[in-house]
Amino acid sequence: MEQHLLGYEYEMYRLDQAEHIAGRLDQVAPRNLRTRRNLMTRPPEQIRPYLRRARFEYVAYMVEFEHDWSLASALIERWQPEFHTFHLPCGEMTITLQDVAYQLELRIDGDPVSGCIGGWEQHHQGRTIEELCEQILGVVPGPEDRQSQTKWTVKLTWFHNTVCRELEQDATEERLRKYARGYIMQLIGGILFPDASDSWVHIRWLPLLEDLDACGRLSWGSAVLAWMY
């Protein structure tokens, strides 16, 4: 007889459901994935052309998708981080660039996604990080909206409540561009490149959104796959 982790004894050689471990599998509570969602909502129709230029239009509508969390939980149970594959009864399966392109409609070719965390003046034409935020978003996050005085990791709720506040019907083109950039920053921090908190995003992504057409030429799909691994 052996003692199982579930707290009962069983004999490995017995195959009847009264004694074998398989007879008690249905008594174990399922371990479903616990999820958290941010405050993102469907983007206003006015900014759709700008999201399209940046190649984020399709991803923007993922905020309303209904996900099968039981299926996701089952796949996580079979994920092997050493090999980046799912081990299934029929073999191994993994996520490829083609999957990213089909599911997210992000580019998997083009210029690489890269950036800096420090030395902003050196890399961005002498502009400080505050000047970049003012020019690209129209507002600068305060110390209370960042992780610390020295870090530029910003709350996603700040983008939601400040940059992406209710859009005026007669909003100017400049206002629409800034709204679109703030919305994309929420997509980056909340869906595409999340951290363990799922509530912060680093400001280093912001310069990539200054020119929305140039943003649309970047290989965001490759970066998403690399970030997941």
Per-residue pLDDT of the chain (229 residues; tens, 9 = 90+): 444 444 445 455 445 555 555 555 566 566 666 666 666 788 999 999 999 999 999 999 888 777 788 888 888 889 888 888 999 888 999 999 999 999 999 999 999 998 777 676 677 778 888 888 999 999 999 888 887 766 788 999 999 999 988 888 888 999 999 999 999 999 999 889 988 777 899 888 999 999 999 999 999 999 999 998 8
Residue-level pLDDT at 34: 62
Residue-level pLDDT at 58: 92
Give this prediction's pTM.
0.81
Residue-level pLDDT at 8: 47
Residue-level pLDDT at 146: 82
Q: How many CB atoms lie within 10 A of CB 107?
A: 19
